[in-house]
Amino acid sequence: MNECDILVVGGGPAGISAIRSAKLGADVVLIDDGLKLGGQLIKQTHKFFGSAEQFAGMRGVDIANKLVSELYESGTKVLPGATVLGIYEDGVVNYSKDNVVREIKPKRTIVATGAKEKNLLFENNDLPGVYGAGAVQTLVNVYGIKVGNEVLMIGAGNIGLIVTYQLMQAGIHVQAIIEATDHVGGYDVHARKVKRLGIPIIFKHSIKRVDGYNSVEEAIVVKLDDRFNPIPGTEKKFRVDTVCIAVGLSPLAELLWQAGCEMKYIPELGGYVPVRDEDMRTSREDIFVAGDVAGIEEATSAMLEGTIAGTEAARSLGYPVEDDELEKAKSYLNQLRAGPTGKKIRIGLEKLLGKRHSFETNATIHKPSKSTMPKNKRVPVVECFQEIPCNPCEASCPFDAITIGKDINARPSVDYSKCTGCGICALKCPGLAIFMITEDYSDSESLLEIPYEMLPIPRPGDIADGIDRDGNFVCEVKVLGVIKGKDKTNLVRIIIPKEYADRVRSVRVKEYKNDKIVCRCEDVTEKEIVEAIRRGYTSFDELKRLLRVGMGPCGGKNCREEVLKIIARETGKSVEELEVGTYRPPTKPTPFSAFKNE
Amino acid sequence: MKADVVVIGGGIIGTSIAYHLSKFGVDVALFERSYISSGSTGRCAGGIRQQWSSPMNVRLAMESVRMFEKFKEEVGYDIEYYSGGYLLLAYTDEEVDRFKKQVKMQREQGLDVYLLSPSEVKKQFSSLNIDRLKLSAYCPTDGHANPHLANFAYVEAAKKEGARIYDHTEVTGIVMNGDRITGVITDKMGKVETKIVVNAAGAKSRDIAKMVGKDLPVEPYRHQILVTEWLPHVLDPLIVDFYHNIYFRQTMHGSFIMGQSDPDEKPGVNLNARWQFLHEISHKITFLMPMMENVSVVRQWAGIYVMSPDAQPIIDELEGVSRMICATGYSGHGFMLAPITGKLVAEWVIYGNPRSMDISNLSLKRFEGGKRIEMERNVV
């Protein structure tokens, strides 16, 4: 039987971070049952909050790529596409891969299996068209599949808000967000992003029923009283084809139950969670936990818990820990949980760890003072009104003009005397809450620059609709230009009558010309090809070398003919007269392992 | 039609020469019988290395690296240049000895290169398997770039300087008056008057020399190469392993490019890919980098090394002909030497000798009269 020092179950942010144990010298195996390593991060197209020293300001999918390359660099043996079936009394773990079940005996196991989505009971909830938010993200963000045309989102927590925004980015219309409580559960900046898109959040309502012949055609929503009971006669009908459920997560802890770890029911942490100490060790001394399985939180804290669990698991096997990574992780974790938005977690941890946690916030509230804001130069307006653990604006400012301070939950304040108006903060802010304004652009107009992540991207000269914070039309605006951010957050620069400068916070483009993709593997557009042909590159092989067209995994199956047609059209020749270019083996991407099996 | 200088060959060597000549204000016309980068450049792995066994090659490569570092600002195009280093692996005692001597010599030439023990290799490049590894040599200023983009960059930049670049136009003959060149004959544009021809025709350079009745001691040999699917960035240096006969690198795009030599290959222009290569290299790459096991091969092809007798380039003006300057025989490392070649040949044309460096030992004379030649050993 195979043996190893440490087995990590789960290749999400917590599991991959636990491979720090491998960096300390331990012999580590990581098993993941996803289609791709990276856990839920692979479907997160939004930028993360938290400390810029961690991954704040990066998109989840980019964090996943970074973590996965670190995983491979670490020397960890990775078993992707494998499922752990059980943890046994003798510490043996069995898993299935490629339809073969094998056993492995680790000295320590770190369970980082994440979470599952909570269910919601309503009539006909098995009708096709009812999805969990995670499934919707997988289909839309990982596979680019349009789940429907008209969506009703249930739940105004961070997931409901984020997925709503992502659906709108994907061109799928969300009619409304239904929330049972009287407030937004997620971050205020996320709520503001969807409100600007004109999507109402309907509080104190829940879904009662969906109807349809083969799949969802309509959803019935009902008002709730103060005890969350439906009030008869308040039903509202939505004509939608998709209902997306985002009512929270609970730990995916079957393995821990099987292994006999002590479990405790703590609603603030999402349900049953393993009893564990501050080193992330469960009641079984050979089993550690990290991430959502240890209590529902978010990806940054999962990574930090993974680092802690990995370090402690390695230490418990005698591997020396000499650096200060562990202390750093613990300190970041405390910071993340210290603010008002971490209150629920703090209560949950207090119940779990049986003692008061010293997570008192020291946040000084900096109020951006409008009076000091200069009118004749380009400056940021920071619309960040909630204390959340986040500091990329401060970290990104090259001139130290933005201050958050030691407690990353504090709100930013801007020192306009230091600010040069560079706009980097507006491109960086994960909440899209920073707008650049030049109030006195002319006698009667202001220049407003809006962070924008939707398609189509406005073009210079466009006349677009100026939209207010709640998604309502204010006035027509003129698009001066677009600053394209490296990570797909753009700044749309609009000219606007002065009196509306404080009201307009978004734009809506009226018409748009789409890019035509010729080479789908390498994302080469018709426009790029035409431009190259006009510069004199008139054969397929030349365009291939210049633009990578046809160099991707399909080997040009999908684009070669299209490219030849474009060359023919541009050069006035017939396709038969052209050089078709070389065809090279293999016809299909084939792994090295297959060539070894002679 | 007329041109002060005619360059034959639209690969990286020819276009670098055309670019440098045009920058000096010389009226230059370049003829490429197919399309730009259709020959060895368009098939090359893009490595840029200074770790050679011959001091001349080290010096040439060091000058070239300096030019690659400034390529973007000077030539004006991003060619995905990446200074990720070259790591040479030694598996035998003979190699260990050789690496030690070479590193000493290379350091004497001023190159920042040093030896790494297997554990240091593991620490710095953890995705590599160090089983049976005895020693390695590492030069951090080695690197790689995208040969196609570099080739096109020289074309575009040369055009901006006024050079005329004609692709799909073959030089079929050279017109002589006695021992003086008076022009070249092309298939599409007839005679082009010129007094100076630069022969940068790579695998065809021997045929071009024959047009003026001279022979060049170069032979083309086929080499196999492949590229994989895209991966996240996991490998900085280009790896050369002479013992297992493989080199590989990760491109800025994310794909891995790798190749090997075939000791049984006969000379000749053959561009067919071999199926055996896929099996052979799969064993090697998965041994050296176990994470490659499930990475897919997307494309394989073959290219040409134009070998000279000592595996070092030939940069020389033919004797008894006025005037043909040849830049050929790069033996698989023409891409990396192209910038310095362009500069030296341009100087040669203008001043009658290369001013920046002494390259007298790259002359054809070195092969005359049974002289002992110093073989470049670090070719893979």
Q: Which A positions 513-572 lie with beta carbon below 8 A of chain B? A: 535-537, 539, 541-542, 545-546, 548, 551-553, 555
Q: Residue A558: pLDDT above 90?
A: no
Q: pLDDT value at position A22?
A: 85
Q: What is the pLDDT of residue A565?
A: 92
Helix (H, G, I), strand (E, B) or coil at B186: strand
* Cβ contacts of A552 on chain B, cutoff 8 Å: 298
Mutate which: B33, B35, B256, vs A, most A CBs within 10 A: B35
Mean pLDDT, residues A314-322: 94
Mean pLDDT calculated for residue range A246-271: 92
Cβ-nearest to B232 among A68, A548, A596: A68
Rounded Cα gap, residues A502 and A372, in angstroms:
16
Report CB contact under 8 Å: A586, B299.
yes
Whether A550 and A567 have beta carbons less than 8 Å apart is answered as no
The reply to whether A593 touches chain B by the CB within 8 Å rule is: yes
Q: What is the pLDDT, as a whole number, of residue A555?
A: 85
pLDDT bin (cut points 50, 70, 90) of residue A275 is: very high
- pLDDT, average across residues A350-378: 65
What global pTM score does this model have?
A: 0.55
% of chain A with per-residue pLDDT over 70: 96
Q: Could B294 and A595 be called an inter-chain contact, meaning their C-beta atoms sit closer than 8 Å?
A: no
| A320–B contact, CB cutoff 8 A | no
Minimum distance, in Å, between the CA of residue B209 and any CA atom of chain A: 27
Report the first-to-last Cα separation within chain B, whole angstroms: 43
Q: In chain B, which residues have their Cβ closer than 8 Å to the Cβ of A582? A: 301
**Cα nearest neighbour of A61 on chain B:** B232
Q: Using CA atoms, how far apart are residues A533 and B189, in angstroms rounded to an integer?
A: 22
Show the CA angle centred on residue A67, arms to residues A61 and A71, nearest 5°. Answer: 140
ipTM of the complex model: 0.87
**To probe the interface with A, which of B255, B271, B298 has the most A CB atoms within 10 Å?**
B298
Q: Is A21 left (phi over 0), alpha (psi -120 to 50) or beta?
A: alpha
The 10 Å CB-count burial string (b at 16+, else e) for B133-170 is bbbbbbbebbbbbbbbbbbbbbbbbbbebebbbbbbbe
Residue of A nearest to B292 (CA): A592
All structural domains of chain B, each given as residue ranges with its CATH number in brackets, are 5-45+148-218+310-367 (3.50.50.60), 83-143+219-306 (3.30.9.10)
Q: How far is CA A559 from CA A293, A517, A577, A580, in A?
A: 45, 9, 18, 12
Tell which of A27, A545, A548, A596 to mutate to test the B interface (max B CBs under 10 Å). A545
Subunit contact B282:A590, Cβ cutoff 8 A: no
Inspect the interface and report whether the beta carbons of A593 and B293 lie closer than 8 Å.
yes
Query: For chain A, what is the mean pLDDT?
Result: 90
Establish if A592 touches chain B: CB-CB under 8 angstroms.
yes
Instruction: Tell me how far apart the alpha carbons of residues B164 and B158 are, in angstroms, rounded to a whole number.
Output: 8
Determine whether the interchain pair A596/B279 forms a contact, defined as Cβ–Cβ distance below 8 Å. yes
Number of A–B residue contacts, CB under 8 Å: 100
> Could you tell me whether strands A28-31 and A2-9 are parallel, antiparallel, or unpaired per DSSP bridges?
parallel
Which residues are within 8 A (CB) of B137 and not within 5 positions of it... i.e. 6 or more apart? B51, B87, B88, B90, B99, B102, B103, B113, B114, B115, B116
Taking an 8 Å cut-off on Cβ atoms, the answer to whether B126 and A75 are in contact is yes
What are B324-341's pLDDT values in tens digits?
999 999 999 999 999 999
pLDDT in tens, B176-202: 999 999 999 999 999 999 999 999 999
Model confidence at A225: pLDDT above 50 = yes
B233 chain-A contacts, CB cut-off 8 A? 69
Mean pLDDT of A110-137: 93
B293 CB neighbours in chain A (<8 A) are 591-593
**Nearest residue, CB atoms, B282 vs list A73, A539, A596:** A596
Contacting A residues, span 69-128, partner chain B, CB-CB under 8 Å: 69, 72-75, 78
Min CA distance, B368 vs chain A (Å)? 40
Is the pLDDT reported for residue A482 higher than 90?
no
Give percent of chain A above pLDDT 90: 68
What gap in Å lies between CA A283 and CA A265, rounded to an integer?
A: 15
Q: Is the pLDDT of residue A356 over 80?
A: no
Best residue of A19, A42, A571, A592 to probe chain B, by most B CBs closer than 10 Å: A592
**Are B282 and A592 an interchain contact pair (Cβ–Cβ within 8 Å)?**
yes
Segment A141-170, tens digit of pLDDT: 999 999 999 999 999 999 999 999 999 999
Q: How far is A229 from chain B (nearest CA, A)?
A: 50
A456: confidence class by pLDDT, cuts 50, 70, 90: confident
Please check whether residue A202 touches B, CB under 8 A: no
Q: Is there a contact between A553 and B275 if contact means CB atoms under 8 Å apart?
A: no
Q: Which has more pLDDT, A359 or A387?
A: A387
- Cα separation, B341 vs A478, whole angstroms: 53
Residues from chain B that touch A546, judged by Cβ atoms under 8 A, are 148-149, 152
Which residue does chain A place closest to B282, by CA atoms?
A: A592
Task: Verify whether the Cβ–Cβ distance B152 to A593 is below 8 Å.
Answer: no
Best B282, B284, B287 residue to mutate vs chain A (most A CBs within 10 Å): B282
Q: Looking at CA atoms only, how far is residue A255 from chain B in angstroms?
A: 28
Cβ–Cβ gap A542/B37 under 8 Å:
yes
Contact: B298, A541; criterion CB under 8 Å:
no
Most confident of A87-101, A306-320, A418-432: A306-320
Segment A220-239 shows an average pLDDT of 95
A513 has pLDDT over 70? no
| Contact across the interface for B152 and A586, Cβ inside 8 Å | no
Q: What is the pLDDT of residues A337-348, one digit of tens each?
A: 988 889 999 999
Q: Chain A contacts of B273, Cβ < 8 Å?
A: 584-585
The 10 Å Cβ neighbour count of residue B188 is 10
| Stretch A427-456: mean pLDDT | 93
Closest partner residue to B294 (CB to CB) among A65, A542, A591 is A591
> What's the gap in Å between the CA of A571 and the closest CA on chain B?
15
pLDDT score for A87? 87
Q: Please check the confidence at residue A360 and state whether its pLDDT lies above 70.
A: no
Confirm or reject contact between A589 and chain B (CB < 8 A): yes
Do the Cβ atoms of A542 and B285 come within 8 Å? no
Q: What are phi and psi of A185, to 5 degrees?
A: -85, -25
CB contact under 8 A, A585 and B282: no
Per-residue pLDDT of chain B (380 residues; tens, 9 = 90+): 999 999 999 999 999 999 999 999 999 999 999 999 999 999 999 999 999 999 999 999 999 999 999 999 999 999 999 999 999 999 999 999 999 999 999 999 999 999 999 999 999 998 899 999 999 999 999 999 999 999 999 999 999 999 999 999 999 999 999 999 999 999 999 999 999 999 999 999 999 999 999 999 999 999 999 999 988 788 999 999 999 999 999 998 889 999 998 888 999 998 988 888 998 999 999 999 999 999 999 999 999 999 999 999 999 999 999 999 999 999 999 999 999 999 999 999 999 989 999 999 999 999 987 778 888 988 88
State whether A595 and B297 contact (CB < 8 Å).
yes
Query: Given its phi and psi angles, is residue A193 left (phi above 0), alpha (psi -120 to 50 degrees) or beta?
Result: alpha
Q: Which of A589, A596, A598 sits opposite B298 (nearest CB)?
A: A589
Query: Three-state SS for A323?
Result: coil
Residue A514, pLDDT above cutoff 90: no
| CB nearest A73 (choices: B229, B234, B300) | B234
Cβ A249 vs Cβ A270: under 8 Å = yes
Q: H helices of B109-225, where? A: 118-124, 147-160, 205-210
Residue in A546, A584, A590 closest to B152 by CB = A546
* Of residues A116, A96, A80, the one with CA closest to residue A293: A116
Within 10 angstroms of residue A184's Cβ, the number of other Cβ atoms is: 22
The reply to whether residue A582 touches residue B291, judged by beta carbons under 8 angstroms, is: no
Q: How far, in Å, are A210, B36, B253, B279 from residue B259 at the CA level? A: 59, 23, 18, 12
